[in-house]
Amino acid sequence: MKIEITVNGRKRQFDVEPNKLLLNLVRDELYLTGTKYGCGIGECGACTVHLDGEAVLACMVLAVDADGRQVDTIEGVAADGDLDPVQESYIEEGAIQCGFCTPGFIMTTKALLRENPSPTEGEIREYLKGNYCRCTGYVNIINAVQSAAKKLQT
């Protein structure tokens, strides 16, 4: 099937099998490997991207369902080489260890702060509950989200 998706602001055409996953499209055809293949069954959040601005699990979305829509991945977050405030905060707060989960966390955090610019700790934990991290224990991640929220409000 022929489809067209705007990926990180650039229109791209693809010829895909009907069962091709969006996750495999961005990783295998565009080499945007920042979006991680974790569980492949919608459980870990490592594959989170934005579809028309909403955080979605790319392992649970068919590429054909993204036809005519906008997909943003972690590679599109830094503007002209400048880190996004969310990325800066994750680094400053030590919210990254192995980094495997980080792209998914950052994409989910950006969606959260767009919907709710000043979330409570409880709201952060609830929104991020679909993203798993095996390394950090989550405390520094919560701190990073709170720090990013402050930065984005100033």
Which residues contact residue 56 at a Cβ distance below 8 angstroms, ignoring those fewer than 6 apart?
A: 22, 48, 49, 50
* Of residues 94 and 117, the one with the C-beta less far from ligand FES: 94
Q: Is 51 in the site for ligand FES (CB under 6 A)?
A: no
**In the 8-state DSSP scheme, what is residue 145?**
H
Degrees (nearest 5) of the Cα angle 97, 102, 106?
140
Q: At what angle do helices 85-92 and 139-153 cross, to 10 degrees?
A: 140
Q: Is 40 in the site for ligand FES (CB under 6 A)?
A: yes
Contact segment (CB under 6 A) with ligand FES among 14-22, 70-78, 80-88, 94-102 equals 94-102
How many residues contact ligand FES, by CB under 6 A?
A: 22
Q: Is 100 in the site for ligand FES (CB under 6 A)?
A: yes
* Residue window 54-73: x/- pattern of binding to ligand FES, with contact defined by CB under 6 A: ---x-x--------------
